[in-house]
Structures are given as structure tokens and as C-alpha cells.
Structure 1
């Protein structure tokens, strides 16, 4: 089950790169992401990205640098999730990186689909935010 949660945490990071890290930091009592500064920085990064994603000049999430960052943040979030659950961080980072790539492509396709259907870009982005935040809450909470 932890491998599935790791993959889904990667999908979250593919949607909003910092959200997976923030979700794990905010729900952990121990592990590498615990501490007031870590929580503050990951949360600020996630909130900044939620706002910045709505800007018309936001870069594509499918460029190689953006995909690399999303895969890395997804892997880091899953490694932290595994560490707090006494799992092997490396084994959980790999599916999370794959999930981040899948989430990036799915998010870009969703936005293109919504655009073709005449959805306002802000509405499509906010719906994507809701899905990403809901999924983050579902997979990062302590079990």
C-alpha cells in the first residue's frame, strides 16, 4: 500500500511540484521533513506555486527542467513518507518519480482539454488544484 501511496504522491507533485512535500511535512511527527522551518518553507513554496500557476506566463510543466524538478520533489516527498513509515526510501522514490511524470502529463492534458471545451483557464486550474490538494490529503495523512 505504501508503494501505491508513493506513486500517488508523485502524481500530486506532477500537478503541483511542492504540494507533495508540503503535505508530508504538515502530516509528519517525525522524519526528515519535520521542523518549523521545513514546514514553513514547503508550505510557502506550495502556496506560491498554487498562485503562480494561474499566471498567463507560467512555464510549461512539460519542459525538461520542470519535469526534472517535479520528479525530484515527488521522489523526495515519497522518500520522506517512507522514512516516517519505516519503509525503504529508495524503493518509494522510484514509483513517485514515475507518478510525477504521469501527473505532469495528465495535468497538461486536462488543461488542454478544458481549453478546447471553452473552460476559463482559471476554472480549469482551480479544479486541478482541488484534485491535487484532495489527493495530497488522502495519501499523506498518517495511518
Structure 2
């Protein structure tokens, strides 16, 4: 798979759940403690995302964090594969921004219709799938 496609997948996953792509990348590595920490962070985010006190992902601070994390995840993946980092980082950041707004719209749409929890769970699944595809060793 092309490194820019991988970057887009990882960035889109970051827009949905910011820690999930980093956990997927850590799962591919050899550092046991990094795997444990990244998986715990991703799991915590999956839970925290459903809480009413969780701020909107499109507020400036959370959005900035998602954009930076999308760039970092895509750049790490590109570097791990021996590719240039700049292009994938830019694609990852852009995809994270777009997916953040798309996810916020999706959740508002579903919540307005009484489907907040199913929509959140579907978004969890999409984030995990995108991160898994983007970080796969193939």
C-alpha cells in the first residue's frame, strides 16, 4: 500500500480517536512497555469519549492535538518503512483535521436522532479499522 494512503488512513483514525493509531503502530513494534502504555491510552480514550464532560474534538486545543498526532503517526509509519516523512506527515495532519470535523458532525447528527451511543461505538470501530489498515506490515 502506498505510504500516502497509509498516512491518510492513520490521519483519519486520529481524527476519530487520537490515541488509536499510535497504539496500532506500537503494536507492530518490539517495545513491550510502549505497547502496554499506548494500548491503555487508546482504551482510556475509547471510554472517555463517551463521557458528557469530554470536550468537543473541534475546539482549538483538541483539534490541534489531533492534527499534530495525525502528522506524527503518519511520519512514524513512513520512517519505519524507510520512506520520506514530510509528505505522509502532511497527509496525516490533513486527514486528521478533516476526520475530526466529519466525526463531530456524525456524532451531532446521530445524537440529535437519539443514537449517540451506537454512533460512538461505530466510530470506535472505524477508528480501529483505519488504524489497523494504516499500520499493517503489508
The CA deviation string for residues 33-87 of structure 1, in whole angstroms up to 9 with x for no partner, is x512222221111111001001111110001100111011111111111011110
Conserved 8 A contact 1:26-1:39: yes
Aligned residue number for residue 92 of structure 2? 96
CA distance in 2, matches of 1:44, 1:74: 19
- Taking the aligned partners of 1:48 and 1:18, their CA distance within structure 2 comes to 9
TM-score scaled to structure 1, two decimals? 0.90
What is the rounded CA distance, in whole Å, between the counterparts of 1:63 and 1:54 in structure 2?
17
Pair 1:25 & 2:20 matched = no
2:102 aligned partner:
106
CA distance in 2, matches of 1:47, 1:114: 22
Equivalent residues in 2 for 1:1-143 (5 A)?
1-28=2-29, 34-119=30-115, 121-143=116-138
CA RMSD of aligned residues (A): 1.2
Structure-1 separation of matches of 2:70 and 2:20 = 9
- Greater than 3 Å deviation, 4+ residue runs: none
Which TM-score applies when normalising by structure 2? Answer: 0.94
